[in-house]
């Protein structure tokens, strides 16, 4: 059976608190993009710790992405299913940047943008998010002309699973330490508090695992 790790809201809060000084020192984001739904709560908590006296709160934008495992089609439909290497994992956008509050997408050109999600599992979602955001911003940069600065993206996740990844992130992002995971874990299943329907029972399980030394 897959090992489960239970996190309380306090655990999530403390992981964000711990990560904030490093994010401030290395990156100083001007915009946070939370990947829904797991990135919402960490993004909001992180914002409190990133707030600088005398500066406004960092705006948070939400994007929604959904992962679909494409099932192989058998029987007569094989002809349209494509070769096996095309059968994989597909991400679709369910929500994208809200330009009514951002203004034009050009406003993101030359900015430092922090993408927040709860967990980097196969990395499929993060790869898609970074690629699509980079594509949109690069198109806007081209429209602005040669003087326009490059937008920098960085990533914060609560957990990175140490396992072979299906998705890839830009080499410069990894080389320049623009990827931060508060914790690296094995291939376990992490139960976040916002998924719990009985938060007291969830917290009990977290406490038990902690006292057994398994969390």
Positions marked catalytic: 121
Query: Per CB under 6 A, does 11 bind ligand 5GP?
Result: no
Contacting residue, 117, 137, 181, 196, with ligand 5GP by CB under 6 A = 117
First to last CA, the chain: 16
For residue 24, give the nearest of 154, 130, 134, 120 by alpha carbon: 154
Place of tokens 């969830």: 202
The single residue among 61, 113, 123, 215 that binds ligand 5GP, judged by CB under 6 A, is 123
| Separation CA 7–CA 215 (nearest Å) | 9
Cα separation, 184 vs 93, in Å, equals: 27
CB 5 within 8 A of CB 215: yes
Q: How far is the CB of 171 from ligand 5GP (least distance, A)?
A: 18
Q: With CB under 6 A as the contact rule, which of the stretches 76-84, 116-124, 140-148, 174-182 interacts with ligand 5GP?
A: 116-124
Residue from 7, 190, 196, 206 touching ligand 5GP (CB under 6 A): that is 190
Q: Does 122 bind ligand 5GP (CB under 6 A)?
A: yes
By the criterion CB under 6 A, which residues form the site for ligand 5GP?
Answer: 38, 67, 117, 119-125, 189-190, 192, 195
């Amino acid at each position: 059976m897959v090992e489960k790790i239970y996190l309380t809201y306090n655990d999530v809060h403390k992981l964000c608190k711990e990560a904030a000084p490093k994010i401030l020192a290395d990156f100083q984001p001007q915009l946070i993009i939370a990947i829904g739904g797991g990135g919402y709560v960490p993004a909001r908590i992180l914002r409190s710790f990133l707030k600088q006296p005398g500066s406004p709160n960092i705006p948070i934008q939400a994007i929604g992405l959904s992962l679909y495992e494409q099932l192989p089609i058998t029987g007569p439909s094989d002809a349209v299913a494509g070769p096996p290497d095309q059968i994989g994992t597909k991400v679709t956008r369910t929500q994208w940047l809200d330009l009514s509050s951002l203004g034009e997408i050009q406003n993101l050109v030359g900015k430092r943008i922090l993408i927040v999600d709860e967990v980097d599992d196969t990395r499929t979602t993060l790869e898609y998010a970074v690629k699509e955001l980079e594509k949109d911003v690069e198109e806007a940069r081209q429209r602005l002309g040669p003087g326009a600065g490059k937008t920098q993206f960085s990533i914060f996740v609560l957990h990175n699973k140490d396992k072979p990844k299906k998705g890839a992130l830009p080499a410069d992002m990894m080389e320049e330490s623009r990827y931060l995971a508060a914790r690296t874990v094995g291939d376990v299943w992490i139960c976040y508090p916002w998924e719990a329907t009985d938060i007291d029972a969830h917290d009990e399980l977290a406490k038990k695992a902690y006292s057994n030394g398994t969390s």
